[in-house]
Structure 1
């Protein structure tokens, strides 16, 4: 068991004896009320109506609430202290789907992003030997961050939505059912026995449907570059923001890196983000244009397709290496905070140039490309404003301080730079989503 697992497990034991574990709070957080400070974590966790499991990073069960135990008909001793899947028996036919759940949890550990699964069929044992009862589950995997900004634990939420799925299938026997939103609404209005699950399922399933086209994919890893990404959602239970990152190779062999932030903080903004990101990908790959041209084409395409989106965007094109390994970096900023360049000698600077209008507000004026050379050992940082923007602090002041913070942290370890930035600059409770991308130019084999 990891140290994190021992810490949370010991906290659970204290809570079970009637005293909640005490946690250190950032200095700028409001002090809890005396009543809140006396709350019993175990009692709160047990009272949550949605079935939930608390997991350590190695997927050991640290705690499980009563709703989860009631749903499965198992005692806590069958689960706590054991790997998540050790307390269950699975049909061999479900091995691939069980593996998807584990992969989802590992993705959350790696990216710090909430992940949604389902409805996913995983059957449970019946009363007779070799009998399996059909069950369908809606799952949400949620990261829990520690004070350093790392994922210290996971909350796994699994709701039995078998009644909804089977009702939906009976309602449309003449077509293959994907459980779309209309069928879910119809099933809900049939008065099926959802009880306490109805409201939470309706909310989360609708969110899953709207967000399915805006899932953030892992970045490309072109030869000679190392690209790292981090995503920190503002929401605890359901990410509904419009921040995004992207990094992919173009037909020319160059690499386009993008961060953006769609105006708005709701599910609609997240769905719009997915549409805009997809349009930009297609335009960039086929056009062979510069970043400024890509944004102009994306804006026209989005307008023509009826995508009502206003966003800040920073897009950077990393060219192919020359004989010495140097590359041309071309970037454009549409109302977005400026990139940071960390040079091989450890110095850092804001690439503060002319900042164009936001994407989507409409204008005949052309956008402006900016260029510089990047050398082996240099690192480009792109980020959304949630990294630096705080109430009571002017954005200009926060940006002026950013290169100094980056220099200090990059000098310690470039491999952990993004995690260190999140830990240093972002409070545990933040009002905005954050997307971070770093692109390091690697030395050629000969130079190494």
Structure 2
């Protein structure tokens, strides 16, 4: 596990550099992301060449995490897990995940403004839990002498590797890193990071070969009934609708659904023959002009709504269905108009954290993370529940065949509840 004392220390950069370095050395690498994140996994997928799944003991659940790790351990030489925020942040935290599966931790320390204090930080990260701290990767190291001071301060903790200050960083925006498709030099940048990563081969070889209780002869099947057999679900997927857990698509397919992808940004309509529509989150506010002018897309989603097709719109998907969207520059754009109301972007974070949607089939777990607000005359049909506080979370709107909310569901947490969202309600 690649973890740190806080966000912004360089976890994603180090994980991507390590993954790309190992892949170039001929290793089969699988990478996971701890916590509910969409953008880091896209970048890490480019670094390792394989889908990056979520590990979260609450949202995904213990069995799902064990199953995913078992599958990766069967097919890969190296499994990396990028932590979330600080090592001990959250309920559950990355440290909880590391202890549950006895995963060694590499602590990334941004050493740009420190030297010997790195040892105190590393020992605190190790002992507070404690966790099995295998070593430290020092980021933004200025020189060989700087690295030597850090190494001496660590005492009995190995300096696993160093990464010097980089002339080009991974760019960010309000919801995290820029999408990989927007970075024409991404592969070159990943190769440069891999070249710059100085890894202590002896420390790497000293890591134990871990096959903890991950490989029982038969793990329970996550889905037993094909509740969506024979149904085709149209899934929006482009730069405006990019926040898709790979596990969500896996769950829909395991439920028996056929998936048909389309791009509203390219003015592609809902595919013919679709029985339901899934509009995931993303960055509609950055593509408001294109979505506003996409007459074909707007007509097709209106027709699907009029025909009573179940439509699930999460966060950015919901924003694109409102009457109007005010973008970050204050410009107002007409949207598809299926959901009465207007969406306004704001500089201040409007929602963040794990939540669950109560359904007749039990809770569907997930999270929320957004910088906009919906102003609508509709009364919510209900609210999600914040974890662990138990207080009301995001509003959930039901308007005709449309279910819309800022809530992002993790479908594998409750396949039966997921199937119900894409099944027409009897009149």
TM-score by length of 1: 0.27
Using the size of structure 2 for normalisation, the TM-score is 0.28
